[in-house]
Structure 1
Amino acid sequence: MITRRDSLSLLAGAASAAILPARTFAQQAIDLSPEQAGRPRAQIDEAAIKLIAKDAKFVKDGVFTIANTAGRLPFGSYANDTRTIIGSEPDIGQLIADALGRKLEVLPTAWADWPLGVTSGKYDAVISNVTVTEQRKEKFDFSTYRKDLLGFYVKKDNEIVIREPRDVAGLKIIVSAGTNQEQILLRWNEANIKAGLKPVEPQYYDDDVVLYLALESGRADAYLGPNALLSFKAAQEGKTRLAGNFSGGWPVLAEIAVTTRKGAGLADAITHALNGQIKNGNYAKALARWNLSAEAIEESRANPPGLPKA
């Protein structure tokens, strides 16, 4: 568990990291081609290959087959050929496949279907913004590759900065019902009220157009959601900006990971491959392509502590 000081450091550090790359990212046209010519590629990592368990089985010979929900960018969506899945997660998959000396195949899946697909051997792994949890670790192995961050986004000219829970007191904040971020916001609000601070006014919208109109008009002060999605939109449209970040498992550090079947014998090799790409800079390039530099980790870990069971 991270301390309050660690939480504040995460808020401040992630905020600065996310704001700076957005300037250059916004100036670039998103490559929607199936070829993905700008995608970073890796050299074969013999040390990583040696860590593949002798009894490990891949779906196809010479191929690293991954699942992706292909819901929206930056995580994954269809290229302009309407068949090829592109995005930040396929980019990470490509680096791993290259390092293991294999071709990459990305298959679409519904979020509810990936666990069965991985455990049944339909996919070698899922790379689709999956957070490490203690419950999931009972059936899956993990190799981390990103921080799981939430972000407060405000109108571009709004000077609000949110560095700690007390900073949301009295604000009108948009959040999605039934989400992890809603539960965190409500816990913050409860603590603030007990401390004698003004309550938060949560706002809920089913329509993104109406949601962003509320931000632009001042009917809402901030929007709390997954940092990666909101950062991507902010950089592309230039209408909102990041006001603060914190862990998606607050106050526990949460991480996103490549997910493989428990005992499949692939996690150590994937973790080693990722660390090689972190060291040589390809990893940073892959995240920067999709404005995800704020979520970079310093080291990939195999099966780290995950979010506790509910």
Structure 2
Amino acid sequence: MIRFKTKQAAGAALALTSLLALAACSDPGATAAAAPSSAAVAADGGTAGGKTFNLAPDQNRVKVAVDAQAAALVPEAIKADGKLTVVTTGGSAPLTLFATDNKTLIGSEVDIAYAVGAALGLDVEVLPVAWADWPLGVESGKYEAVLSNVTVTEARKEKFDFATYRNDLLGFYAKSDSAIGTIKEARDVAGKRIIVGSGTNQEAILVKWDEENRAKGLEPVAFQYYDDDSASTLALQSGRADLTFGPNASAAYKAAKDGKTKEVGTLNGGWPLTAEIAFTTRKGNGLAVAAQAALNRLIEDGTYTGILDRWGLTSEAVAKSELNPAGLPKT
């Protein structure tokens, strides 16, 4: 079902959602305009004319050697049982999804977890949890870390430590044969029919850009809202919409998988500030320091790039992992 927003409603939405432009990504599945679910993925992982993804339970991951220097930084309490327990909230390809057996967790976040654990000389266990459950679980020590599209924020830094591993990006995507060029700034969206998720930070950004354009006498954005991915896809492919604007990871995966859409621009999820996704641990226990060292080794030896490329996410790569960088401010 489609719902169109009037100019007045769009202005009201800005009042309700402008703060979300500075909010962290939460449950990846909840922030997508119309993110593809694991159920929408072809059973064999193959597509006609697109990139083939391995969605089988056996992932044939690249073997990662122990990094002695990084392993030496692992806290003794975690070394004791030799296991790194990581949680993810799942449900959003390619970050985390279930394999074709409908029970094995796979995805880019899972690959990063296994690679970091191997570099630290630890066995890895990845568990699915609800988004609302990871903060208390990590803070209490029940879980050692969470890898689930968690953005660094100043509020979260009061309870958690972070080792960054991906840029938090939003993406503009058009039909593959669209004549639309690059979307970089507000004037580029003037007059466009854009599919966006209601109540999301991307909607707040788009509303802000639309207001700037209107003030300059430019054509308004035609906001479009759909209840599911199939309807959104049909609207774009049939020409009823010009662009989608949402979390880049899911859109990049979908574009690589079916070849029917193309990325025409990305924007940091914290616009106008910078937001980063991070390996998240309990504050002060030292694990984030070890994870940062492991991540930087994986970046240096190419394993990290290989993981992102495997899932169509090279556009979100970082040059190096940062420990507790400046996060999005408290609102």
- TM bucket normalised to smaller: 0.7 to 0.9
Deviation at 1:241?
0.9
Q: Does 1:46 align with 2:49?
A: no
> Deviations along 1:146-171, whole A, 9 cap, x unmatched?
00010011111112121222100111
Give yes or no for the alignment of 1:93 onto 2:113: yes
User: By how many angstroms is 1:52 displaced?
Assistant: 2.7
- 1:35 equivalent to 2:35? Answer no
Alignment of 1:163 onto 2:206? no
1:245 to partner: Cα distance: 0.6
Aligned to 2:125: 105
Question: Aligned ranges for residues 233-252 of structure 1 at < 5 Å?
Answer: 233-252=254-273
Quote the residue 1:179 is aligned against.
200
Letter in 1 for 2:74: I
Deviations 1:111-154 (A, max 9, x none): 11111111121211000111111111111110000000100111
Query: Which SS does the other structure have where 1:52 is aligned?
Result: coil
Contact 2:70 2:290 in 1 (8 A): yes
Q: Distance in 2 between the 1:60 and 1:288 partners?
A: 34
Query: 1:1-310, aligned counterparts within 5 Å?
Result: 27-37=50-60, 39-54=61-76, 57-58=77-78, 61-161=81-181, 162-310=183-331
Instruction: State the 1:80 CA deviation.
Output: 2.4
CA distance in 2, matches of 1:208, 1:27: 18
The alignment's C-alpha RMSD in Å is 1.7
Distance 1:295 1:41 in 2: 23
Question: How far apart, CA to CA, are the structure 2 residues paired with 1:177 and 1:82?
Answer: 29
Q: Which amino acid aligns with 2:63?
A: R
Structure 1: tracts of 5 or more residues without a match: 1-24
Does the aligned pair in 1 maintain the 2:210–2:221 contact within 8 Å? yes
Specify the SS of the correspondent of 1:204.
strand
How far residue 258 of structure 1 moved from its aligned partner, in angstroms, is 0.5
Aligned counterparts of 1:185 and 1:60: Cα–Cα separation in 2 = 49
Query: For residue 158 of structure 2, what is the amino acid of its counterpart?
Result: E
Unaligned runs of 5+ in 2: 1-47
How much does 1:195 deviate?
A: 2.1
Q: Give the drift of 1:26.
A: 6.4
Distance 1:82 1:53 in 2: 34
Moved segments of 4+, more than 3 Å: 25-28
| Length-normalised TM-score, structure 2 | 0.82
Letter in 1 for 2:160: F
Counterpart contact for 2:51–2:258, Cα < 8 Å: no
CA contact (8 A) 1:156 1:241 kept: yes
Aligned length: 284
Q: Deviations over 1:218-259 (max 9, x none)?
A: 211100010110011111112111111110111111111001
DSSP 3-state at the match of 1:58: helix
Contact preservation (8 Å) 2:50, 2:259: no
